[in-house]
Amino acid sequence: MQTIDYQTDPTRYRHWRIERDGDIAYLVMDVDQAGGLGDYELKLNSYDLGVDIELNDAVQRLRFEHPEVRCVVIKSGKDNVFCAGANIRMLGKATHGAKVNFCKFTNETRLAIEDASENSKQVYVCAINGNAAGGGYELALAADHIMLVDDRRSAVALPETPLLAVLPGTGGLTRVTDKRKVRRDRADVFCSIEEGIRGSKAVEWRLVDEVVPNSKWKDTVAARAKEIAARSDRPKNAKGVALTPLDRKIETDRVSYSHVEVEIDRARGLATITVRAPSQGVPTSVEAAHALGAKFWPLTVARELEDAILHLRTNEPAIGVILFRTDGNAQAVLDHDDFLAKANGDWLMREIRHYLKRVFKRVDVTAKSFIALIEPGSCFAGTLAELAFAADRSLMLVGTREGDNRKPAAITLGQANFGLYPMGNGLTRLQTRFLGEPNTVERLKGKIGTAIEGEEAAELGLVTSAYEDFDWDDELRVMLEERTSFSPDAMTGMEANLRFAGPETMETKIFGRLTAWQNWIFQRPNAIGEQGALKLYGSGVSPTFNKERV
C-alpha cells in the first residue's frame, strides 16, 4: 500500500498556486494532469487526494502565514474549465477504504474553508469560469459567495447519480439544501441531470449568487473580492507565522514528533498516541508567543496530533483501536489555555484555538475506537482533557501504582472545556456527554482547576470506569481483547452513531447521514460491480442495474 504523507508546502505544490494582491489572495487550481497519486490522468482539473492535500495545506497557510489576507478567491488556472470534480479513474481503481477516506478528507477541507470564512474572517469567494461538475461544484459550495461566468457554456452540476450511480461525496447534497436553501423539488431535478444549470436560472435556483458577462468577468471578480475584504477584521499589518516542517520521524512501528508519540502494535491491532505537556512556561507576552511561531506549544501539538491522526487513518487501516495517553504537568497545559483565552483578541491566538477545534473534530469522525487511559503522571487537563471526552471510553487508575512517585491519576477541567472546542453538532463535548443532565455541566464549572481523581471522576461521570492498581492491567486487557474481537464494520457504525448526540447540523448531516449512505452505495454492484456505472464510465457501454430498491 502506498504511504500517504499529508505534509507539503507551496514549493512542492503541483496543482495549486497562491497569488496575492494586497488583502486579497487568489487560490488558483491548475492541476498537473500527470501529477496523480496513481496510474491515471487528472484531466479537466479533476482531483485526487494529492490535490486536496495541497488545498488543505494552502487553506492552513493562508490563515497562519497571511494574516493580512481578508478575502480568498478560488479560481481555475485553465481556460473555460473550472473543475471536473473527483477523478473518475481514481475512484474506479481505488479500494473501498481509500474512497471513503478520500471523501472524508475532502469534506474536512471544505469545512475548514467554511470555518475560515466564519471564524477567521478570511472570507472565500469562488469564481467559476467554466463547468463546475460534481466535486468541482462541491468545492464552490464551500465558499461564502459563488460567481458564475455567463458565457452560455459554463454551468454548475452534481451529475454523480445519473452518471456514476453514486452520490456527491463531499457534502454537495446537504449544502444545496441546508446552506444554499435550494427548494427540494429543484434540488431533485438538479441532482438528476448531467448537463447542470447555467446563467440566470442558476441564480434563480440559488445555486450561485451571481452571473457575470464574460466581458466584465475579471473586473467584477476583483471588485467583489474588494467589497468582501473591506468587511473583514483581519489585521492589515500583522506578520504571519511560518508553518515550518514538522519535527517528525516515521519508523516501522513508531511515529515520533516533538510532543506527540505514536506506537503501533499490529499484532494486537492497536496504536498508542501519547501527547506531552509543554516543557516550558507560557510566553511572557503575546509578542513572545508570536516570536515562537510554530514552536508555540498549542500550535505545535495541534499540527503534530493532526498529522498523527491522518497518518493512522490512511496508512494503518487495520489498526482499529487507538489509546490516548498524556504525560507531563497538567498545570502547564492549563497555563497555556489561560494564555490563549486572555489573548483571544489576537489574530494568531484565535487561529490556534480554531485549529485545535478542527483537530479534535478529526478525532470525532475517524473510524477507529478511541480509549483514553488516565494514569499517574498524565495531564488530561483543559485542552488535553478534550481527548478523554472525545474518546469512546475513558479509564482512570485510582490513586498511584506501587513504586510510582508521580502524582495520582487525575482529570482537570479548564475554561477550554466549556466552549472553546465545539463539536460538529455545535455543542461542547461535555454538553454532548451530559445531554440528559444539563445541570451537571453547570456544576462541573465549579470544579475548574481542581485535580479530580479516580472515584470522584467516575461519580461525576467524567470517566467511564475507575480501577484500583491491582485490577488495572486485567481490566484493560479484557476490554481491549473484547474491542478488537468485534466486527470493525459494526464498530465503525456504532461509534459514528453514538458520538454525535444532540442537535443535527449541516456538518453532522454530512458525516453522519450523507457519508454513511455514500459508504454503502460505494459497495453496491450498481456502482462498482462489473456492470456498474463507476466501472463502465467512459467505456461507451451502459451500466446494468439491479432494479430492486433496498
The predicted structure's pLDDT at residue 484: 94
The predicted structure's pLDDT at residue 550: 80
- Edge-first strand listing for the sheet containing 156-157: 81-83, 131-133, 156-157
Instruction: Give the pLDDT band (50/70/90) at residue 526.
Output: very high
The predicted structure's pLDDT at residue 1: 72
Q: Are residues 320 and 423 in the same domain?
A: yes
Which CB contacts under 8 angstroms, 24+ apart, belong to 399-406?
Answer: 399/453, 399/454, 399/468, 399/469, 400/376, 400/469, 401/375, 401/376, 401/469, 401/472, 402/469, 404/376, 404/377, 406/376, 406/377
Tens-place pLDDT, residues 117-127: 999 999 999 99
Tell whether 200 is covered by a domain: yes
Tell whether 526 is covered by a domain: no
How remote is the C-alpha of 250 from its chain's centroid?
22
Tell whether 296 is covered by a domain: yes
Q: Are residues 211 and 278 in the same domain?
A: no
Q: Are residues 289 and 210 in the same domain?
A: no
Distance CA 184, CA 42 (A): 33
Angle CA(77)–CA(83)–CA(87) in degrees, nearest 5? 120
Domain of 315, in residue numbers: 249-498
Angle CA(124)–CA(128)–CA(132) in degrees, nearest 5? 110
Average pLDDT, the chain: 96
User: Is this structure's pTM higher than 0.75?
Assistant: yes
Distance CA 51, CA 90 (A): 12
Q: Are residues 125 and 214 in the same domain?
A: yes
Q: Are residues 453 and 399 in the same domain?
A: yes
Distance CA 477, CA 293 (A): 41
The three state secondary structure string of 290-347 is HHHHHHCHHHHHHHHHHHHHHHHHHHCCCCCEEEEEEECCHHHHHHHHHHHHHCCCCH
User: Which domain CATH number covers 107?
Assistant: 3.90.226.10
Tell whether 519 is covered by a domain: no
b (16+ CB within 10 A) / e for 497-523? eebbbeeebebbbbbbebbeebbebbe
Nearest C-alpha neighbor of 157 from the set 174, 176, 134: 134
Q: How many domains does the chain have?
A: 2
pLDDT at residue 338 greater than cutoff 90 = yes
Q: Are residues 376 and 258 in the same domain?
A: yes
Q: Are residues 224 and 267 in the same domain?
A: no
User: Which of 54 and 403 is assigned the larger pLDDT?
Assistant: 54
Q: Are residues 173 and 290 in the same domain?
A: no
Tens-place pLDDT, residues 462-512: 999 999 999 999 999 999 999 999 999 999 999 999 998 999 999 999 998
Q: Grid coordinates in use for 235? A: 489585521
Q: Which residue has the cell 494532469?
A: 33
Tell whether 216 is covered by a domain: yes
